[in-house]
C-alpha cells in the first residue's frame, strides 16, 4: 500500500509541484490549501484536495487521520507575494506551524519537511563566505524580511521542540529562491510591487532589447531549480533518519554574467540576440553560496539540471503553462494599466 503524505500549502509555488511529483512517484498524496477551491486541478491528478486555514486548529478536523506517514508543510504567507502584514506573517507561519505539529502529534505522524528562510543567516550574505549549515540562527533587524524571519525561526524552534519531546524526524530546508516558472512574474520587494528581476531580463531578452550587466559581474549566487528541489523533498520523505536543518544549494553558483548570457541564449531570437552593455560603476549583484555537506551526506543529493537546462525547461513551462488550471496564465497577472 502506498504511504500517505499530506502537503500543506499545496496550491502554492512549491506545494503544487511537490504534490504532483510525490504522486507521480508512488505516494498517496493529500493536498491541503487555504483556497476554497483548487479548480479541479488535483482531482485530475487523482489527489484529494481539502481547504484548511492552518491558523484555525478546528479546521484540521476535516482531514483524514489514518496512517499519515509524513507531512510536507509549505503553507504560510510570504512577504514577497502579498502586501506587508506582520501579524499575518506571524500567525500563518508560527501559529500555523504549531497547529500542524499538534495535529501531527495527535494522529501519530512523526515526519515533517519544512522550508526555512536564508535570512536566518543574513550576516553571511554578500561577504564572500560560505553560508554555514549549523551556525546560530539570527534575523535582520529591519526590512520586510525581519518579522518574516522571526516567525520562521520560531517555527523552526517549535519543530526542534517536537523532535526532542516527541521523537519527530524533521527536515528543515534553508534555501534562497527556488527557480521555476509561475504565471505571476511580480512580487513585493521592500513593500513595492515589482516585476521579478530575472523575469524582467527574460522579457527584455525575448524582445531583443539591450541588457545591462552591472558591477562586478563575476559575483555568483545559488540558483536551485524546482525539479531538483522537489526531488530533494522526496529523498527526505523516503529516508529513515532523524533529519536536521539543511542548506539547499547546487554545489556551484551562477555569476551575474553567466545568468544574463544564459537568458539571452535561451530567450532571445537566434538571429537578433539582446546586446549586452557592461556598466561597472553600478552596484554589485547579490552574492551567496551554501555549504551543502549535509544534503550530500544524508541524501546523496546532486542537482540534475545545469543552469542552461533550467532556463530551457523554464521556457517550456512558460509556453505550455502546466499549472494553468490551478494558477491561471501569465495574462491573469498583468498589471491593470498594461492590459
**Cα separation, 122 vs 143, whole angstroms:** 12
Nearest residue to 87 via CA among 36, 42, 27, 148: 148
Angle between helices 256-267 and 307-320 (to 10 degrees): 40
pLDDT computed for residue 337 by the predictor: 61
pLDDT computed for residue 81 by the predictor: 59
CB 172 within 8 A of CB 233: no
213-223 burial, b for 16+ CB within 10 Å, e for fewer? bbeebebbbbb
What are the distances in angstroms from CA 179 to CA 42, 278, 310, 313, 337? Answer: 22, 25, 8, 11, 27
Nearest residue to 32 via CA among 3, 59, 67: 59
CB within 8 Å of 22: residues ≥ 6 apart: 5, 7, 29, 72, 230, 233, 234, 237
**Cα separation, 42 vs 337, whole angstroms:** 33
**C-alpha dihedral (49, 51, 57, 58), degrees to nearest 10:** -100
pLDDT computed for residue 194 by the predictor: 86
The set of cell numbers assigned to 86 is 506582520
Q: If residue 211 lies in a helix (H) or strand (E), which one and from where to where?
A: strand 211-214
pLDDT computed for residue 82 by the predictor: 62
- Residue 284 has phi, psi (to 5 degrees) of -70, 155
- Residue 190 has phi, psi (to 5 degrees) of 50, 50
Cα-only R_g, the chain: 20
Q: Mean pLDDT of residues grouped by 10 in the chain (339 residues)?
A: 96 98 99 97 98 98 98 84 81 97 99 98 91 94 91 98 99 98 88 87 98 97 98 99 98 98 99 98 95 98 98 98 97 74
> Could you tell me which CATH class the domain 4-181+223-249+287-303 is placed in?
alpha beta
128-147 burial, b for 16+ CB within 10 Å, e for fewer? eeebebeeebebbeeebbbb
What are the distances in angstroms from CA 106 to CA 8, 34, 68, 109, 110? Answer: 17, 22, 11, 8, 10
Residue 57 per-residue DSSP state: G
* Domain ranges for the chain: 4-181+223-249+287-303
The set of cell numbers assigned to 77 is 504567507
pLDDT computed for residue 4 by the predictor: 99
Amino acid at each position: 500500500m502506498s504511504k500517505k503524505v499530506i502537503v500543506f500549502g499545496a496550491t502554492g509555488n512549491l506545494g503544487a509541484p511537490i504534490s504532483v511529483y510525490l504522486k507521480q512517484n508512488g505516494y498517496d498524496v493529500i493536498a491541503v490549501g487555504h483556497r476554497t477551491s483548487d479548480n479541479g486541478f488535483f482531482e485530475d491528478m487523482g489527489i484529494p484536495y481539502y481547504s484548511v486555514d492552518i491558523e484555525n486548529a478546528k479546521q484540521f478536523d476535516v482531514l483524514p487521520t489514518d496512517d499519515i506517514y509524513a507531512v510536507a508543510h509549505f503553507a504560510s504567507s510570504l512577504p514577497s507575494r502579498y502586501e506587508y502584514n506582520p501579524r499575518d506573517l506571524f500567525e500563518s507561519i508560527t501559529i500555523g506551524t504549531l497547529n500542524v505539529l499538534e495535529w501531527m502529534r495527535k494522529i501519530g505522524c512523526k515526519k515533517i519537511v519544512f522550508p526555512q528562510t536564508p535570512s536566518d543567516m543574513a550576516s553571511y550574505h554578500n561577504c564572500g563566505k560560505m553560508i554555514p549549515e549549523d551556525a546560530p540562527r539570527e534575523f535582520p533587524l529591519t526590512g520586510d524580511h525581519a518579522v518574516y524571519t522571526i516567525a520562521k525561526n520560531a517555527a523552526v524552534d517549535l519543530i526542534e521542540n517536537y523532535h526532542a519531546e516527541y521523537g519527530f524526524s524533521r527536515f528543515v530546508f534553508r534555501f534562497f529562491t527556488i527557480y521555476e516558472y509561475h504565471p505571476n512574474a511580480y512580487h513585493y520587494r521592500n513593500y513595492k510591487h515589482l516585476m521579478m528581476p530575472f523575469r524582467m531580463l527574460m522579457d527584455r531578452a525575448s524582445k531583443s532589447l539591450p541588457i545591462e550587466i552591472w558591477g562586478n559581474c563575476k559575483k555568483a549566487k545559488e540558483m536551485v531549480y524546482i525539479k531538483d528541489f522537489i526531488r530533494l523533498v522526496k529523498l527526505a520523505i523516503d529516508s529513515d533518519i532523524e533529519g536536521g536543518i539543511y542548506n539547499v544549494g547546487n554545489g556551484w553558483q551562477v555569476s551575474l554574467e553567466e545568468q544574463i548570457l544564459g537568458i539571452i541564449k535561451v530567450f532571445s531570437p537566434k538571429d537578433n540576440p539582446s546586446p549586452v552593455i557592461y556598466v561597472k560603476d553600478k552596484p554589485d549583484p547579490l552574492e551567496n553560496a551554501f555549504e551543502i555537506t549535509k544534503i550530500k551526506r544524508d541524501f546523496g543529493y546532486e542537482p540534475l539540471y545545469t543552469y542552461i537546462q533550467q532556463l530551457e525547461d523554464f521556457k517550456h513551462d512558460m509556453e505550455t503553462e502546466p499549472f494553468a488550471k490551478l494558477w491561471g496564465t501569465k495574462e491573469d497577472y498583468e498589471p491593470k494599466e498594461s492590459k
